[in-house]
Amino acid sequence: MKTINIALFITAIIFVSCDRDSSNTGTRKNPLGNIIEEQLISSDGGVISTPKLTVEIPENTFTETVEISVSVNSSNTFGAEQLSNIYFVNNIPPVFNAPITIRLNSVPQSDDLKMFIVEQNYVRGTHTEELSYRPADYTFEGEEVVVVLPANNGSLKTTGAKSAFSTDGAFSVGVLAVGGYSTLVSSGRNFQLTFPSASIAEAEDLADYLEEAFGRFSGTNFGFSYAGRTSWPVEVVVKPLANTVYGYMTASVWGDNYASLEFNSNKISDSESMRLTAGHEFMHFVQNLYDPRNRFSKAKFAAPHLWVDEGVAVWAEEFFTDQSGYTSSIRAGHQMAPFSGMLKGAESDAADHGYGMSALFKYIAGEYGTSSIKTIYENIAKGENADKAIGAATNTDYASWYGVFLQKYAAGELYSDVAVNTWIGNKSGDFAIRSSNDTLKEFKSNFAELAGKFYTISIEPDAVKDESALEISVKQGYNGKVCAYKYSASTFERIGYVASTVTVAEIKAIAQSGQKILVLASNLDNSYATNDENELTLQFKVVNNKTTFTKVSFDFDVMSTNIISYETGSSSTGQNRYYYSLPEVPAVQNGNVITASWNGVYYYQRQGSATITFDGNKIVSYEINDVISYNTSTETIVITGTNMPLAGENVFGLSFSAPSSCTSVTEYYSFTQYTGFSEETTGFFCDPQYGNDSFINLRY
């Protein structure tokens, strides 16, 4: 709550009580004050007169008869600087065809007089309806100050609900006189600030912060367009706000050209917070330009994609601070949001959900480029719902990346305000391995789409053998995946990547080190805006046969393009069949990632390395690097590929095969230097007539 100096408070009460219209009986009220006059206004127009206020409505302003009322609101938002009550004209249709003139008398003329148009609109900063204030041009005619409300006759879309394209209801607009305020225009002439005259230095800094945001969001990295607004500068008002509020952006029933910003005059000396707030709120301003709803809906109701707006704005704050590894304080208390379901989590409180989902947009920007955020909004502007807009920006199926996002977020790789204790405190189940009989545990649970749940596993060292491993798998559930971490009071380490089955080796050693295992299970299904839930069955199984892979071998048979280059400068190009083979070499398994390296004689002197990521039924990805030293030449080889399916299993291990090498090899590269010429192969192509079968073998 804000505090008011008692002397100023008393002064304000005395002044406002003198200002109250004498015709106000106090017996009739609307939400914006006491009604002091009302009148039916037809298409012929009319004049509403009170001792304090006159409202002139020209002919043909309204297309049908409307009951217009005038009310007085004694709210004292500006303290001692407030020179009048707020006078509202109520029940104005969302479309009216001619300017409405408001005349307010007994307002003292002064150089620092400011008149404000007051609307009651949805405010992103508080997520409620608030009175918003925008400076208005005015003139004096005798003892009256005259404010003209521009016509509002732009077309409105007529389909959809209030949260989408509502044209229901009328609106109110007020006028207010304030003294002691000054105006400045920012250096880029994109913002006009109205502020307490004593705060000139702070206002100049705020203007610079806003210009910084203007330039950054329209710059190369973000690439947002401001074409939706055709009238500049943006009005910015610095005035007292609630103590917990630093600023907010408000839309207007007059449309995008009248959207404005407000900042808390009681916080304006906090330069660091003002810079962050300028970035956050101007991002909301930009988002509003991409909102496809009509001007009335944007002014009165939250966007259907509110959680996206808040998530992006919270993430964008990091561009307006010099702090390394900045994490917005707004995220506090909302760290579990990414696990509640991308869409489902927004059902209870879209704004709070968005604060926590800032991590999603940080991940997307990091993986797909900052401009992908603009792509999201370009799709929203076309009318796409949030998940389709995000999917279009990544241009990949959610199942291929959302699990990786959750995995990295849980590991603290995106924001530092996450902790294993948070995940443990919100766990959905626990598997306690206390004896050799504790070998199997299953959990069945409903998961929202694109959501995750945590499970903990504690192990008594004497309950398992040295060679014991823990197999974590999804036994039922389309697009169900798991990943694993080991943790203690001081450590937290990822040990299993996103897969349908993850095997954690050497669980006895993990237990002996005082660590436990944390499992993140996720439902990566997405049916686009249906918010369906899926039942997943998770199985945790202690396996005491040796399942850790310790050796790998390779056999590749591929077709590739070769280029022979001679020292004379000539060259020739052709297509040949190439064989690559490496017998068993030692390997190390860490979760579902296997690494191998070699340096020795395998037919010839060879030195190289390999990394393989597997998921029970397939090798997800692999890369092989080898240098072979022949008697008179040296060959360098690089082989990469993805999605090599399981071909067979026996007591020795698993074999994976790429039939005809058509789908599981992405690159076969080699370079050999001979005396007088060199041979280089690059790429690969499929030629089934030659068979071209390739194998990767994992051995226990």
pLDDT in tens, 17-32: 333 343 333 334 456 8
Q: At what angle do helices 271-290 and 306-316 cross, to 10 degrees?
A: 140
Say which residue the tokens 């400011």 belong to: 114
Look at residue 396 in the predicted model and tell me its pLDDT.
85
Q: Which residues 6+ apart lie within 8 Å of 425 measured at CB? A: none
Look at residue 603 in the predicted model and tell me its pLDDT.
79
AA identity, residue 574:
G
Look at residue 166 in the predicted model and tell me its pLDDT.
36
225-261 confidence digits (pLDDT tens): 999 999 999 999 999 999 999 999 999 999 999 999 9
494-553 confidence digits (pLDDT tens): 888 788 888 898 899 999 999 999 999 999 988 755 567 888 999 999 987 666 789 999
| 290-317: average pLDDT | 95
CA–CA distance, 310 with 351 (Å, rounded to integer): 6
Say which residue the tokens 């499970």 belong to: 455
CA–CA distance, 6 with 396 (Å, rounded to integer): 60
| 452-479: average pLDDT | 91
What's the mean pLDDT when you consider all of the chain? 88
Which has more pLDDT, 31 or 43?
Answer: 43
CA–CA distance, 222 with 371 (Å, rounded to integer): 5
CA-nearest of 452, 373, 443 to 408 is 452
Q: Which residues 6+ apart lie within 8 Å of 416 measured at CB? A: 325, 327
523-539 confidence digits (pLDDT tens): 998 875 556 788 899 99
CA–CA distance, 449 with 593 (Å, rounded to integer): 27
CA–CA distance, 402 with 238 (Å, rounded to integer): 41
pTM for this structure?
A: 0.76
Spatial contact of 695 and 618, defined as CB atoms under 8 Å apart? no
Cα-trace Rg, the chain: 34
Look at residue 531 in the predicted model and tell me its pLDDT.
61
- Burial of 663 from C-beta contacts in 10 A (0-12 / 13-18 / 19+): middle
pLDDT band at 156 (very low <50, low <70, confident <90, very high): low
182-227 confidence digits (pLDDT tens): 999 999 999 999 999 999 999 999 999 999 999 999 999 999 999 9
CA-nearest of 119, 225, 219, 95 to 173 is 119
CA–CA distance, 123 with 267 (Å, rounded to integer): 18
Of 300-309, 455-464, 636-645, give the lowest mean pLDDT range: 636-645
CA–CA distance, 360 with 296 (Å, rounded to integer): 30
Of 569-583, 613-627, 685-699, give the lowest mean pLDDT range: 685-699
- For the ranges 401-410, 470-479, 666-675, 679-688, the maximum mean pLDDT occurs at 401-410
340-365 confidence digits (pLDDT tens): 999 999 999 999 999 999 999 999 99
AA identity, residue 86:
I
Is residue 674 scored above 80 in pLDDT?
yes
111's tokens: 């150089």
607-664 confidence digits (pLDDT tens): 999 999 988 678 999 999 999 998 889 999 999 999 888 877 665 678 888 765 567 8
Say which residue the tokens 């620092």 belong to: 112
Query: How large a percentage of the chain has pLDDT more than 90?
Result: 69
Say which residue the tokens 């191998």 belong to: 596
Spatial contact of 434 and 324, defined as CB atoms under 8 Å apart? no
| 300-318: average pLDDT | 97
pLDDT band at 1 (very low <50, low <70, confident <90, very high): very low
CA–CA distance, 378 with 380 (Å, rounded to integer): 5
Is residue 690 scored above 90 in pLDDT?
no
| 117-139: average pLDDT | 92
Say which residue the tokens 């071209």 belong to: 692
Look at residue 19 in the predicted model and tell me its pLDDT.
39
